[in-house]
Amino acid sequence: MNSRIQQILGKAVEKNILSKGEIIAVLLCESPHNDALFRAADLVRKRHVGDAVHLRGIIEFSNYCRRNCRYCGLRCANKDLQRYRMTPDAIYQAALDAVALGYRTIVLQSGEDLFYDADTIAALVRRLKKLGVAVTLSLGERTYEEYRLWRKAGADRYLLKHETADPILYQKLHPDGNYADRLNCLSWLRELGYQVGSGCMVGLPGQTPEMLADDLLLLKELDVEMAGIGPFIPHPSTPLAEATAGTAEMTLKMVALARLLLPLAHLPATTALATVDGDGRAKALCSGANVVMLNVTPLEYRTFYEIYPQKERADKAPVTGRRQFDKMLAALGRPVAQDAGHSPKSEFQQAVS
Ligand code: SAM
Ligand code: SF4
């Protein structure tokens, strides 16, 4: 093996630090170095967060969105999409069903839909917390006051991906967004004591290895508790319909590098990765990932939450998804975590403060 790559990986395993140049060198290397990278990430994952895989149940409760991100099928300019909103009672029922299937974290996700005002979300969070679960919100950019109210209501985590750390590419992809606003929201979430999740897409049009290295360095700087890294997948009803999808290989390399840089972070094996590669979830779990988010949205809404085209969405009931997940983990020899799956980092911080 190329001795420079070997040296970089050795340093990363021991110190969890890499320079931008070193990250780029790893991103540009090819097989068999990739296998060494995946093995190194797997070792760091085992050493710092163990073998258990944390399961999250995601309820995609509304596909209305006020924004126009150029990559996303939920963008408000997409008139081909049938829109839906679940009532708070229906969301609660979906969460109850998920808890019965053994889920200990409920993720509530939607487009940026102001139909659900701050008090409605806060009341829902309070109800969910009574079920004894951890609650993650992923509702996009909202005000400081709204984030504060939801945190006070008991929300544990917030997922807001930075999408790309390149301000120029960010602006191109988000005609109605602003990179500084995104970072501002992330700093509010941190200040309010959420376990913060961020992340990026891999293979965006115009994205370079330098930009991907900046994504990883930003995640390290933000010291996120969770980093969601998935391939970009073109949606036919968006301006990026003709673009090429991100590859599974580059996504796996990004996940592995994220593990080397953020040894205690929760790293999901994303649905987007499983969409571009049928074995993507298992491969990610062997390359540093330790979390899987499964869809527990009632089947009647599934096809309409079409961020990107995804064949399996409509027909995999929560109980089937859970069964397949258990089978995959058994094949990998990895146990399902039995606790709520809070960040080991925040437990550590609580213990030392
Ligand atoms: N509206 C909230 C937000 O933007 O943070 C949450 C929902 S949004 C659909 C969740 C994530 O979907 C985004 O953070 C983005 O990374 C991902 N996403 C959107 N379009 C995508 C695409 N075409 N390919 C891959 N991921 C996509
Ligand atoms: Fe809306 Fe989120 Fe999609 Fe952007 S990524 S259009 S904010 S749902």
Report pLDDT digits (tens) over 151-186.
Answer: 999 999 999 999 999 999 999 999 999 999 999 999
* Through-space distance between the first and last CA atoms of the chain, rounded to whole angstroms: 43
Whole-number Å distance between alpha carbons of 180 and 201: 18
Instruction: Please give the CATH superfamily to which domain 3-340 belongs.
Output: Aldolase class I (3.20.20.70)
Ligand nearest to the CA of 138: 1
Q: What's the rounded mean pLDDT across residues 175-198?
A: 98
The CB of 112 under 6 Å from ligand 2? The reply is yes
Listed in sequence order, the DSSP H helices in 235-294 are: 248-261, 271-276, 280-285
pLDDT (0 to 100) of residue 310: 83
pLDDT (0 to 100) of residue 311: 64
CA of 289 relative to ligand 1 center, distance in Å: 19
Least confident range from 90-94, 106-110, 323-327: namely 323-327
Report whether pLDDT(249) > 80: yes
The CB of 69 under 6 Å from ligand 2? The reply is yes
Ligand nearest to the CA of 160: 1
pLDDT (0 to 100) of residue 319: 86
CA of 73, closest atom in ligand 2: 3
CA of 111, closest atom in ligand 2: 8
pLDDT (0 to 100) of residue 210: 98
pLDDT (0 to 100) of residue 353: 31
- Residue 199 near residue 241, CB atoms below 8 Å: no
pLDDT (0 to 100) of residue 314: 61
Whole-number Å distance between alpha carbons of 212 and 244: 17
- Residue 227 near residue 199, CB atoms below 8 Å: yes
CA of 112 relative to ligand 1 center, distance in Å: 11
- pLDDT band, residue 312 (cuts 50/70/90): low
Report whether pLDDT(9) > 80: yes
Quote the crossing angle between the two packed helices 3-15 and 33-49, to the nearest 10°: 10
pLDDT (0 to 100) of residue 321: 84
CA of 346 relative to ligand 2 center, distance in Å: 28
Report whether pLDDT(318) > 60: yes
pLDDT (0 to 100) of residue 2: 76
Q: What's the rounded mean pLDDT across residues 324-329?
A: 92
CA of 249 relative to ligand 2 center, distance in Å: 25
pLDDT (0 to 100) of residue 346: 62
Q: What's the rounded mean pLDDT across residues 260-288?
A: 97
The residues lining ligand 1, judged by C-beta closer than 6 Å to any ligand atom, are 71-72, 74, 109, 111-112, 138, 140, 160-161, 163, 201, 230, 232-233, 235, 272, 307-308
Q: In the chain, what are the domain boundaries?
A: 3-340
CA of 112, closest atom in ligand 1: 1
pLDDT (0 to 100) of residue 308: 97
Ligand 1 mutation target, pool 72, 169, 302, most atoms within 8 A of CB: 72
Whole-number Å distance between alpha carbons of 111 and 113: 5
> Tokens 């839906």 belong to which residue?
84
The CB of 142 under 6 Å from ligand 2? The reply is no
Nearest CA to ligand 1 atom 1: 111
pLDDT (0 to 100) of residue 351: 41
- pLDDT band, residue 339 (cuts 50/70/90): confident
- pLDDT band, residue 149 (cuts 50/70/90): very high
Share of the chain above pLDDT 70, in %: 96
CA of 272, closest atom in ligand 1: 25
The pTM of this model reads 0.96
pLDDT (0 to 100) of residue 317: 82
CA of 235, closest atom in ligand 1: 23
Residue 273, both tokens: 């990765």
- As a 3-state breakdown, the chain gives helix, strand, coil percent values, each rounded to 5, of 45, 15, 40
